[in-house]
Amino acid sequence: MAKCWMNFSKQKICIFLISVCLASPLKAESLVIYAASSTINVVQEVSKIFQQQHSVKIRTSFASSGTLAKQIALGAPAQVFLSANPLWMDYLEDKNMLIPGSKLNLLSNRLVIVAPKDQGFLVQWSQEFDLSKAFQGKFSIGHPDYVPAGFYAKEALTYFNWWSPLQTRIVAAQDVRAALIFVERNEVEMGIVYESDAMISKHVKILGRFPEKSHSPIVYPIALISAGEKLSPMASQYLLFLQSLQALEIYRKNKFGFVQK
């Protein structure tokens, strides 16, 4: 009797295990992307297509490049990092956290002055023009100490001798999208953001584009990260897909430039 009960119990256990296996499909491979906040739209769009074409689940984290780089340096589980400027990528490379040979420049962008839709003023791209007198209130930029858009804004304002007279009127944002939101909500009279961010907003207008000579080239490097979670074999394929013609069309649609190799 005991023997029969044991056989019956084993049978029940086997059936239970089989049912669990049938009910639980194999877990999709996971790929973790850390990307600058200005790339939210393009990264989400290309990632959606990549997921449809491959058996992989993509998880994303967006913030300022400086914030993300510091998180990665502290062990955050990023497998791919897309930065809004080379400095933060170099920061991780100096810490030997990049897969050798994986780093490349992927995107470019333009720096623009924006104002709320129903406001604005004439901007003259001349060192003789006093921007501080063209408007009375405050203006927003990414924090110049760690947000790339803030770096470029400070460079451009300094080039035209506008930084010193405007410095006390800055609203420093945690990332470029936050700087844009301040303008959208009419909380500031103007902001300096990327063209790609300005183009997605229905609540701001572009007053002008900074001449490219006024600041460092706006370049977005990308690389595979050697720390954090075990690197997915899909990471290299994802990197290649970001350089495909299909991805290129998405960049153009969102007003990003594609850095030619």
Give me the domains of the chain, ranges plus CATH numbers: 29-108+219-258 (3.40.190.10), 111-214 (3.40.190.10)
Q: What residues have CB less than 8 Å from 100, skipping those under 6 apart?
A: none
Predicted confidence at residue 55, as pLDDT, reads: 87
pLDDT tens, residue by residue, 183-205: 999 999 999 999 999 999 999 99
Predicted confidence at residue 25, as pLDDT, reads: 43
Q: How far is CA 220 from CA 10, 79, 106, 223, 227, in A?
A: 58, 17, 6, 10, 21
Predicted confidence at residue 14, as pLDDT, reads: 38
Predicted confidence at residue 17, as pLDDT, reads: 33
Which parts of the chain have pLDDT scores under 70? 1-28, 227-230, 260-261
Interatomic CA distance for residues 136 and 188, integer angstroms:
10
CA-based torsion, 210, 215, 219, 220: positive or negative: negative
Interatomic CA distance for residues 18 and 29, integer angstroms:
22
Interatomic CA distance for residues 106 and 221, integer angstroms:
6
Q: Look up residue 17 and give its two tokens.
A: 């295990």
Interatomic CA distance for residues 67 and 28, integer angstroms:
28
Predicted confidence at residue 28, as pLDDT, reads: 62
Predicted confidence at residue 27, as pLDDT, reads: 54
Provide the 10 A C-beta neighbour count for residue 140.
26
Q: What is the pTM of this model?
A: 0.84
C-alpha closest to that of 67 among 95, 36, 90: 36
| DSSP code, position 85 | S
Predicted confidence at residue 229, as pLDDT, reads: 54
Predicted confidence at residue 26, as pLDDT, reads: 44
Provide the Cα torsion 33, 36, 37, 38; round to 10°.
Answer: -120
Interatomic CA distance for residues 246 and 45, integer angstroms:
11
Q: Look up residue 245 and give its two tokens.
A: 């013609």
The torsion angles phi and psi of 74, rounded to 5 degrees, stand at -90, 5
The torsion angles phi and psi of 61, rounded to 5 degrees, stand at -135, 125
Predicted confidence at residue 260, as pLDDT, reads: 64
Q: Provide the residue type at 228 as one letter.
A: G
Instruction: Please classify residue 22 by burial: count the beta carbons closer than 10 Å to its beta carbon, then call 0-12 exposed, 13-18 middle and 19+ buried.
Output: exposed
Predicted confidence at residue 132, as pLDDT, reads: 96
Contact 109, 38 (CB under 8 A): yes
Using only C-alpha atoms, the chain has a radius of gyration, in whole angstroms, of 24
Q: How far is CA 22 from CA 17, 18, 25, 26, 56, in A?
A: 9, 6, 7, 10, 20
